[in-house]
Structure 1
Amino acid sequence: MGREHRLLVLLVCLVLGSALTAAVLGASERKGPHEAMPGAPAPGDFVDIRDVPPAPVQTPRPGPDASTGSFTVDCGRNGEGHYNQDNLVISPGLRNGAHHTHAYVGNLSTDAFSTDGSLAAAPTTCRGGDRSTYYWPVLRRPDRPATRPYEKAAAHGNTGQILTPAEVHLEFRGSPAGQVVPMPRFLRAFTGDAVAFTARGDEGVKARWGCASLPDRSTTRYPRCPDGDRLTRTLVFPSCWNGLDTANPERTHLVFPAANGVCPQSSFAVPELRITLAYEAPPADAPIALDSFPEQRHSPKTDHAMFVNVMTDGQMAKLVTCINTGRRC
């Protein structure tokens, strides 16, 4: 009887073991290619830019009162090495609150504990004295070692050499639906979705990736660019302000206009900030990875950027006048 009992136990264990193995394998398959490369982007996160079809022109036709000008701010490429793992816009007062590294241009003092007063008194990298802060997660070559302290600081799977942009283009644009009003000083702005990989949809995905030689093609994946080209990241900020707040926890004080450029009722069009970052394109087989939260797997969809307006009233008035009169400044 004891032998039969042992055989029965062994049979039950074999059945349960087979079922568990099948369940694990099935779950692994459902996780997709990201799980095959823990801590790194999946092969499916990359696309040859030549396989991306040209995008149809979707720019709204300007109305009779459109503000068609633009204003460019030159704040350099972060040659000063201003990096940290803070996020003043999303988690003020929390050191290392981002869990990944941000690169900055503009205000040289920005960190988790910055205040309106400290920002207004700090030096800046911007020509013309704009003390605003502009920042975004870094892009890395994980196949190359991190040698500098700020490259090693983030952890959480964010490893490798940080790539420095060859160009940082900061441009403010107008509204096709009408004139823009000044942004309030110390307005906090955010674009993109830092948790897009685990989100239920892509509504928050705002960044577009591309290659400089093919400006009519963009993607939400990492592009493979032709040799000698530049890889680009473009992040467009919301431009409809509620007229009341410079910040709120839900980030509803600043939202995107409708497809026709019209702002929601009871909101006002302010200058639209566009940040374009250009990098010397890495070799076609080289891995690249955007810094992210661990569970976001360095997905290119999680790209995002932040901005705090620290322009004086006079500087902002000059910017708005330029845009509303249709000039390029």
Structure 2
Amino acid sequence: MAGPSRTLSLAAVLVVEVALLAGALTAGGFARPDIARTDLADAPPVVASPTGPGRYSFDCGVNAEGHRNTANVVVTPGVPGPEHHVHDYVGNLATDVDSTDASLAAAGTSCGNGDLSTFYWPVLRAGGEHSAILTPRTVRLEYLAAVTGEVVAPPAGLRAMTGDARAATGGAFGTPTWTCAGAEDRRTDSYPRCPAGRDVERVFEFPSCWDGLHPDSEGHRRHLVFAEPDGSCRRGTFPVPRLRIIAGYAATGDFTVDAFPDQKRSARSDHGIMINLAPTALMADIVACLNRGGVCTA
């Protein structure tokens, strides 16, 4: 028969194991999410990337259509994604696992200017896995001019990526930044705690220096790279319109981004993707606006 000390030891072990299990698992069975949060007032001021004077802004809605799926037609075309990694779309209304440039070019769009391009990012949820998906309240899309020289029209089918879905476990391409409406001069790579009445914002800054040859490359990063710190494009690359997307949400509490299980819902795993399918005449108008230093709205 076990003595009192052995009984107490077993009880203590049981308590510790239960506590560890509770702390390690979420309702969905995955490891506890990395949901570090930062008061935006404690975030450092952002060093803004230089831009030229031209700006072209356009409206593609906020995905009121509920166009969502687990596909990533750029990274894994033809292969459905994991159920816990859902994407929100604006722009092209037909983007799915089996989409091709030809099928997308024949589809409709949510963009008021007729842009058939696809813009997507992982959904934001009210809490952990299986919680409600939050529809953005605002989505602002804009193209920015080059700092030096003129932008050239990108090729049809150009793939562009920003951020890294595996940044929390060593991804090499940085992350988008998080901020609050009205305080874009401060950004953080963790989830922000915004003042009452201020939307949480996700800022996707895309690369804009193209190799002049390829719409895509192995790893989807080599053909289109970020500008140098002074805003110029390195030798052998050419400036194309620089895409920026800012998505705003009425998000509070334990909101998290849909991420792969090993990323534990880290804010650093956020990312955005674009496939350029703007009609030729529309892209010509965008390029002309930027190169003359215009401020255009469509």
TM-score by length of 2: 0.86
1:216 maps to amino acid: D
Structure 1 residues 104-162: Cα deviation after superposition (integer angstroms, max 9, x where no partner): 011000012111111111011110211111000000012xxxxxxxxxxxxxx732100
Structure 1 residues 279-327: Cα deviation after superposition (integer angstroms, max 9, x where no partner): 1141xxx211100111000100010011011111111000000001111
Who is 2:70 aligned against? 85
Distance 1:40 1:322 in 2: 48
- The count of residues paired between Structure 1 and Structure 2 equals 277
User: How far does residue 48 in structure 1 lie from its aligned partner after superposition?
Assistant: 1.1
Q: Does 1:165 align with 2:132?
A: no
Distance 1:170 1:294 in 2: 30
Q: Does 1:269 align with 2:269?
A: no
1:104-253 alignment, distance < 5 Å: 104-142=89-127, 158-199=129-170, 203-251=172-220, 252-253=222-223
Q: Which has the higher contact order (CA 8 A, sep 6+)?
A: 2
Match of 2:45 among 54, 61, 71: 54
% of aligned pairs identical?
45
User: How far does residue 58 in structure 1 lie from its aligned partner after superposition?
Assistant: 4.1
Distance 1:54 1:221 in 2: 15
Structure 1 residues 263-289: Cα deviation after superposition (integer angstroms, max 9, x where no partner): 12111110110010001141xxx2111
Distance 1:213 1:270 in 2: 28
User: How far does residue 177 in structure 1 lie from its aligned partner after superposition?
Assistant: 1.9
1:170 maps to amino acid: L
Compared with structure 1, are the counterparts of its residues 107 and 59 closer, same or farther at alpha carbon in structure 2 (3 Å cutoff)?
closer
2:229 maps to amino acid: A
Distance 1:181 1:215 in 2: 28
Compared with structure 1, are the counterparts of its residues 242 and 105 closer, same or farther at alpha carbon in structure 2 (3 Å cutoff)?
same
Who is 1:75 aligned against? 60
Structure 1 residues 70-120: Cα deviation after superposition (integer angstroms, max 9, x where no partner): 111210000001000000111111122685100001100001211111111
Match of 1:42 among 7, 13, 34: 34
> Residues 207 and 227 of structure 2 are in contact (CA less than 8 Å); yes or no, is this contact kept in structure 1?
yes
User: How far does residue 186 in structure 1 lie from its aligned partner after superposition?
Assistant: 1.2
**Structure 1 unpaired stretches of 5+:** 1-20, 29-33, 143-156
Distance 1:178 1:223 in 2: 36
| Equivalent position SS for 1:76 | coil
Q: CA RMSD in A?
A: 2.4
Which structure has the larger Rg? 1
| Equivalent position SS for 1:127 | coil
| Equivalent position SS for 1:250 | helix
**Structure 2 unpaired stretches of 5+:** 1-12
> Residues 89 and 190 of structure 1 are in contact (CA less than 8 Å); yes or no, is this contact kept in structure 2?
no
Who is 2:288 aligned against? 321
Who is 2:230 aligned against? 260
User: How far does residue 53 in structure 1 lie from its aligned partner after superposition?
Assistant: 3.5
Who is 1:6 aligned against? none
| Equivalent position SS for 1:129 | coil
2:240 maps to amino acid: V
> Residues 73 and 97 of structure 2 are in contact (CA less than 8 Å); yes or no, is this contact kept in structure 1?
yes
Distance 1:108 1:89 in 2: 16
Who is 1:294 aligned against? 261
User: How far does residue 250 in structure 1 lie from its aligned partner after superposition?
Assistant: 2.4
Match of 1:278 among 248, 256, 274: 248
Distance 2:98 2:282 in 1: 25
